[in-house]
Structure 1
Amino acid sequence: MRRLLLALPFALLPLAVAHAADEHDHDHEHGSLGAHEHGVGRLNAVLEAQTLELELESPAMNLVGFEHTATTDADKAKVAAVRAQLEKPVALFSLAKAAGCEVASQKLESPLFGDKPEADDDHDEDAKDEHHHDHSEIHAHYSFTCATPGALKTLDLANIFNTFPATQKIQVQLIGPSGQQGVEVTAKAAALKF
């Protein structure tokens, strides 16, 4: 499975480069391909044999409604509620029951969950702290073992849009039995075929 995930950056290049060209005028102070854009999430999905890997990245603003460290009880409750929703990926991603997918592993990371921000090579030490303070991300990585992967006909993200209404679109890179595709999905068109 590792080698498939290693192949993902290459799969992402055409979309990322095209996206960077579109975003160049709006977001040129960041200079990175993975522009932090409120309302926009990213999902990598790989289905190989009986293993389904899903990797969701989103600005915290899309999921919890803020990006600062939770200090008030209300903010802490909101972060805990979002984390609980992210810990139920079979429901969140509407995986077909017939596929018999079970979570083999899951990992949630975010400064909001008390994780240290990852090192950012583009910035020096002072700017790094400031950059991450302004732009908290939430990363969720799931690995499923599916008894009947052929039953996974579509990946339906409607529940993500319903659960997190501040998410307006998700840029999806999907590698499955029918090949590789890069699609931007919205709440009105939230499903794509494997």
Structure 2
Amino acid sequence: MRRLLLALPFALLPLTSPVTANEHEHKDHHHEHDHAEHGSLDAHEHGAAQLNVVLDGKALELQLDSPAMNLVGFEHAAKSDADKAKVSAARSELEKPHALFGLTTGDCALTKKSLESPLFSASAPAEKHDHDHDHKKAHDGEHSDIEAHYMLECQQPDDLKQLDLAELFKRFPSTEKIQVQLIGPNGQQGLELTPAQPTLSF
């Protein structure tokens, strides 16, 4: 249920709004799940990641979907101590959205966070369905992604003019580009961020 919560607002735009889509989230779970499976595999490209951003009033929602290769340097299940350390380090970095997305204005507080990947299954299994699914994917040798989803509440959203992903590119240097879909006060926009151009404006 937590996977790709932002898929519906973007998929159904302009037919609905993020609020309406979230109200139908449970009903459309199977559609969401299929979209997540097929969409992430089709879009899987080393060096590239996807970021969905929604700013609606005080609510800021961020979802980063990246091949594990970009963040930890491999996609197989971590067995060696060195690989486990890399997974742990990446997970630790992903726990800090304020630093990764340059959230220095807007007075935004993190209210919910979810980090999901087959590589995380051993140390922090998700609910049984997700764990079994991720475990199978890892053993089938399919591409492994890492999904990070954040919900924040911004007390001064008008002060939130941009996101700066310079720190994300610095901490995960194998990430060469990030395709962004943004829904904000000025409507929807899509753009590509790179280490040379790491900022986006609301």
TM-score normalised over the length of structure 2: 0.75
| Structure 1 residue corresponding to 2:190, chosen from 175, 182, 186 | 182
What residue in structure 1 maps to residue 66 of structure 2?
Answer: 58
Q: Kindly tell me: are residues 130 and 145 of structure 1, through their superposed partners in 2, closer, same or farther at Cα, counting changes over 3 Å? A: closer
Matched residue of 1:99: which SS?
A: coil
Is residue 110–residue 117 contact of structure 1 (8 Å, CA) maintained in 2?
no
Figure out how many residues of one structure are paired with residues of the other and give that number: 164
Where does structure 1 lack aligned partners over 5 or more consecutive residues?
13-31, 120-127
- Partners of 2:114 and 2:100 lie apart in 1 by 15
Answer yes or no: is 1:37 the counterpart of 2:45: yes
Percent identity, aligned pairs only, is 55
How far the C-alpha of 1:133 sits from its partner, in A, is: 2.3
How far the C-alpha of 1:132 sits from its partner, in A, is: 5.5
Spell out, residue by residue over 1:1-60, the C-alpha distance to the aligned partner (whole angstroms, 9 max, x if none): xxx943222359xxxxxxxxxxxxxxxxxxx55421000000000000000000000000
What residue in structure 1 maps to residue 128 of structure 2?
Answer: none
Is residue 163–residue 201 contact of structure 2 (8 Å, CA) maintained in 1?
yes
Is residue 11–residue 173 contact of structure 1 (8 Å, CA) maintained in 2?
no
How far the C-alpha of 1:156 sits from its partner, in A, is: 1.1
Is residue 64–residue 148 contact of structure 2 (8 Å, CA) maintained in 1?
yes
Letter in 2 for 1:60: A
- Partners of 2:158 and 2:142 lie apart in 1 by 42
| Structure 2 residue corresponding to 1:7, chosen from 2, 6, 9 | 9
| Structure 1 residue corresponding to 2:111, chosen from 87, 104, 109 | 104
Letter in 2 for 1:134: E
Letter in 2 for 1:110: S
TM-score normalised over the length of structure 1: 0.78
- Partners of 1:11 and 1:56 lie apart in 2 by 19
What residue in structure 1 maps to residue 149 of structure 2?
Answer: 141
- Partners of 2:110 and 2:11 lie apart in 1 by 24
Q: Kindly tell me: are residues 169 and 62 of structure 1, through their superposed partners in 2, closer, same or farther at Cα, counting changes over 3 Å? A: same
Where does structure 2 lack aligned partners over 5 or more consecutive residues?
15-37, 126-130
What residue in structure 1 maps to residue 81 of structure 2?
Answer: 73
Report the aligned-residue RMSD: 2.3
Matched residue of 1:63: which SS?
A: helix
Matched residue of 1:144: which SS?
A: strand
How far the C-alpha of 1:71 sits from its partner, in A, is: 0.5
